[in-house]
């Protein structure tokens, strides 16, 4: 049965109709404790969700919806290793990547925690060798530059985490990320690097991704041109993959390969060996701290009651706005420059997971699923797109992410940053009425322009400080928010068939761009564009 056919969904629809006119101004006026009551805490994070267009009844109905869909059992089945990725017949066990050493989880007769811990130990000894200058390149010089070659989950996670935890990273090592098949990416990322001191970490779960293999081949040529044809690969390449055969076929020694498992989705993987470049940058201890933060949030998600459960509350509120309030997008606004790439990372996490239109049984859903996720670090976004959030015509729920203590204490920067964040959430919620604008002496012709409707919903996520631990917990909170929503909608959040068609069509087009006049049989637009490209290219 579709979730939209349940009495719980219908009750929410009726409730949405009767509460449509509610304003946050009225909700706060009627309940002086709202700001301290509507909050949740866990894994070092404080969630204030009081500035949402919800009443106690809304929250109750949303929690009933979660119960009606069996969310508790769903969570348990994920953590247990059931094959909940039904279209690929796989378990979904990224939570096993951060289980503490010494615990065990046996799936299909294999203790996956033991495998994870063994991989972590190998990663630690590799990253220690690089950090200590013991990993020598072909010419005998220590490696000082690490280039991660991967795309999607094999790029966005380690790249975002590397920026996020820059404070904890070794600044004498250079870490770069190459993802795009656009040759510019490789060219610009390696332009100032000395091949003799450069090591490539090729990250690809499948080791069959066109972009990654193309960049890896270019990297091999780049090394060989500089260091000679022999043995360059051995000291300058390691791989992270689930396919050892493909890695060996590329020429990378299987001893220099770190494992991936089919039970880790790419977008849930930077806490596996896919995060090797991150571990080199921040060290094994900090990496383990990050895993401990992930685990802490996992436990919070697994055990906290819905009304105190950060990921579940975030997920339910998203369902409320997307399915019952008409919101199409969700903004993530980190007030931390270190988290500038968090929105880009969350785009894959959320949109590749929940951008689905059929249920796990293949039935068209007929309601809204995953939102468009976007955002920018504060305060930059304020001077770009906040205008539309404040005074435009769209409903855009926002998450504000903020830390109390900066990692670097520079004058009053942090207080100014935090004052801006607080002001934005206040302005979004309460706005400024026409009467208030008039009373401030604004010319009558400008009153409408200077009126702020308010009633724009926001979540605030606050932690003491951005550390590997709080960072891991934050990412886990978003992973589980995505799970919560996918489970409620009854979709499979763990496959990504939607990216396949474009890949297949590209493979067919590649030869048409090669030598000789192609025999084109696409639509008239695509045929004309192929011809125009060939003509403009001039070969």
Q: x/- contact string, 314-353, with ligand F6P (CB under 6 A)?
A: --------------------------------------x-
Q: Cα separation of 59 and 33, whole Å? A: 16
How buried is 325 (Cβ within 10 angstroms: 0-12 exposed, 13-18 middle, 19+ buried)?
A: middle
CB of 123 to ligand F6P, least distance (A): 17
- Residues 27-86 within binding reach of ligand F6P (CB under 6 A): none
Q: Does 212 bind ligand F6P (CB under 6 A)?
A: yes
For ligand F6P, the closer of residues 152 and 381 by Cβ is 152
- Residues 94-153 within binding reach of ligand F6P (CB under 6 A): 151-153
CB neighbour burial string for 389-410, b if at least 16 within 10 angstroms, e if fewer: bbeeeebbbbbbbbbeebeeee
Contacting range for ligand F6P; rule: CB under 6 A; set: 12-20, 54-62, 203-211, 223-231: 203-211
Residue 379, preceding peptide bond in cis (omega within 30° of 0): yes
Count of beta carbons in the 10 Å neighbourhood of residue 446: 10
Q: Cα separation of 105 and 99, whole Å? A: 9
Query: First and final CA of the chain: distance in angstroms?
Result: 57
Q: Cα separation of 76 and 302, whole Å? A: 7
Q: Cα separation of 348 and 152, whole Å? A: 7
Residues 6+ apart with CB under 8 A from 137: 143, 196, 197, 198, 199, 227, 235, 236
> Please, which residues bridge with residue 329 across strands?
372
For ligand F6P, the closer of residues 271 and 352 by Cβ is 352
Q: Which residue is nearest to ligand F6P (CB)?
A: 266
Pairing of strands 329-335, 398-405: parallel
Pairing of strands 198-203, 237-241: parallel
CB of 156 to ligand F6P, least distance (A): 8
10-39-451 Cα angle (round to 5)? 75
H-run or E-run covering 199: strand 198-203
- Residues 417-476 within binding reach of ligand F6P (CB under 6 A): none
Q: Which tokens sit at 33?
A: 């404790």
For ligand F6P, the closer of residues 150 and 195 by Cβ is 150
Q: Cα separation of 107 and 105, whole Å? A: 6
Residue in 74, 158, 266, 370 binding ligand F6P, rule: CB under 6 A: 266
Q: Does 215 bind ligand F6P (CB under 6 A)?
A: no
CB of 207 to ligand F6P, least distance (A): 7
CB of 308 to ligand F6P, least distance (A): 32
Active-site residues: which are they? 352, 383, 503
For ligand F6P, the closer of residues 212 and 369 by Cβ is 212
For ligand F6P, the closer of residues 209 and 347 by Cβ is 209
CB of 269 to ligand F6P, least distance (A): 7
CB of 352 to ligand F6P, least distance (A): 6
Residue 520 backbone phi and psi in degrees, to 5: -90, 135
For ligand F6P, the closer of residues 148 and 458 by Cβ is 148
For ligand F6P, the closer of residues 129 and 181 by Cβ is 181
Q: Binders of ligand F6P: how many residues, by CB under 6 A?
A: 14
Q: Does 93 bind ligand F6P (CB under 6 A)?
A: no
What is the C-alpha radius of gyration for the chain, rounded to an integer number of angstroms?
A: 25
* Closest CA relative to residue 325, chosen from 58, 40, 47: 58
Residue in 209, 215, 424, 455 binding ligand F6P, rule: CB under 6 A: 209
Specify whether the CB–CB gap between 290 and 271 falls below 8 A: yes
Q: Which tokens sit at 158?
A: 């380690």
Q: Does 206 bind ligand F6P (CB under 6 A)?
A: yes
For ligand F6P, the closer of residues 112 and 239 by Cβ is 239
Specify whether the CB–CB gap between 198 and 315 falls below 8 A: no
CB of 119 to ligand F6P, least distance (A): 16
Q: Does 275 bind ligand F6P (CB under 6 A)?
A: no
Count of beta carbons in the 10 Å neighbourhood of residue 123: 22
Sheet holding 237-241, edge to edge: 174-178, 145-149, 198-203, 237-241, 257-259
Q: Does 499 bind ligand F6P (CB under 6 A)?
A: yes
Q: Cα separation of 133 and 131, whole Å? A: 6
CB of 107 to ligand F6P, least distance (A): 21
Q: Does 508 bind ligand F6P (CB under 6 A)?
A: no
Q: Does 204 bind ligand F6P (CB under 6 A)?
A: yes
Contacting range for ligand F6P; rule: CB under 6 A; set: 20-28, 55-63, 204-212, 228-236: 204-212
CB of 236 to ligand F6P, least distance (A): 20
Specify whether the CB–CB gap between 241 and 247 falls below 8 A: yes
Q: Does 407 bind ligand F6P (CB under 6 A)?
A: no
For ligand F6P, the closer of residues 204 and 460 by Cβ is 204
Q: Does 267 bind ligand F6P (CB under 6 A)?
A: yes
Residue in 51, 351, 496, 512 binding ligand F6P, rule: CB under 6 A: 496
- Residues 346-375 within binding reach of ligand F6P (CB under 6 A): 352
> Please, which residues bridge with residue 174 across strands?
145
Q: Does 205 bind ligand F6P (CB under 6 A)?
A: yes
By CB under 6 A, name the binding residues for ligand F6P: 151-154, 204-206, 209, 212, 266-267, 352, 496, 499
């Amino acid at each position: 049965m579709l979730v939209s056919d349940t009495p719980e969904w219908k009750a929410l629809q009726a409730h949405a109709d009767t509460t449509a006119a509610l304003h946050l101004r009225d909700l706060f006026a009627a309940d002086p404790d709202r700001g301290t009551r509507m909050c949740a805490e866990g894994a070092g994070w404080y969630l204030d969700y009081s500035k949402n267009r919800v009443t106690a009844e809304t929250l109750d109905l949303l929690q009933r919806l979660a119960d009606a869909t069996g969310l508790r059992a769903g969570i348990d089945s994920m953590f247990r290793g059931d094959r909940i990725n039904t279209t690929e017949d796989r378990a979904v066990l990224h939570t096993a990547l951060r289980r503490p050493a010494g615990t065990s989880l046996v799936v299909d007769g294999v203790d996956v925690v033991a495998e994870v811990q063994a991989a972590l130990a190998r990663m630690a000894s590799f990253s220690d060798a690089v950090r200590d200058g013991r990993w020598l390149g072909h010419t005998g010089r220590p490696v000082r530059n690490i280039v991660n070659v991967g795309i999607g989950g094999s790029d966005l996670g380690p790249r975002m985490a590397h920026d996020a935890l820059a404070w904890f990273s070794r600044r004498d090592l250079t870490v770069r990320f190459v993802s795009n098949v656009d040759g510019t990416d490789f060219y610009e990322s390696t332009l100032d690097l000395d091949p003799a001191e450069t090591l490539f970490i090729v990250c690809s779960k499948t080791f069959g991704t066109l972009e990654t293999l193309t960049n890896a081949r270019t990297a091999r040529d780049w090394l060989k041109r500089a260091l000679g044809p022999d043995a360059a690969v051995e000291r300058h390449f390691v791989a992270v993959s689930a396919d050892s055969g493909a890695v060996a076929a590329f020429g990378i020694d299987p001893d220099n390969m770190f494992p991936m498992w089919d039970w880790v989705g790419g977008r849930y993987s930077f806490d596996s060996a896919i995060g090797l470049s991150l571990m080199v940058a921040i060290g094994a201890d900090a990496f383990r701290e990050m895993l401990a933060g992930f685990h802490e949030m996992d436990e919070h998600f697994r055990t906290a009651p819905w009304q105190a459960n950060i990921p579940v509350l975030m997920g339910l509120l998203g369902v409320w706005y997307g399915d019952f309030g008409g919101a199409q997008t969700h903004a993530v606004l980190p007030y931390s420059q270190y988290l500038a790439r968090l929105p880009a990372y969350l785009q894959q996490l959320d949109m590749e997971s929940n951008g689905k239109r059929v249920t796990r049984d293949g039935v068209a859903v007929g309601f809204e699923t995953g939102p468009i996720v976007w955002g920018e670090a504060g305060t930059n976004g304020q001077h770009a797109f906040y205008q539309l959030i404040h005074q435009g015509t769209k409903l855009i729920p926002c998450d504000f992410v903020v830390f109390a203590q900066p990692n670097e204490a520079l004058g009053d920067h942090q207080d100014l940053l935090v004052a801006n964040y607080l002001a934005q959430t206040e302005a979004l919620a309460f706005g400024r009425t026409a009467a208030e604008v008039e009373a401030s002496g604004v010319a009558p012709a400008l009153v409408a322009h200077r009126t702020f409707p308010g009633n724009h919903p926001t979540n605030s996520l606050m932690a003491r400080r951005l550390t590997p631990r709080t960072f891991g917990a934050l990412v886990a909170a978003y992973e589980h928010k995505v799970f919560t929503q996918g489970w409620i909608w009854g979709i499979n959040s763990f496959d990504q068939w939607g990216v396949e068609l474009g890949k297949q069509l590209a493979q067919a087009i590649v030869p048409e761009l090669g030598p000789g006049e192609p025999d084109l049989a696409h639509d008239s637009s695509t045929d004309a564009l192929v011809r125009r490209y060939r003509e403009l290219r001039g070969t």
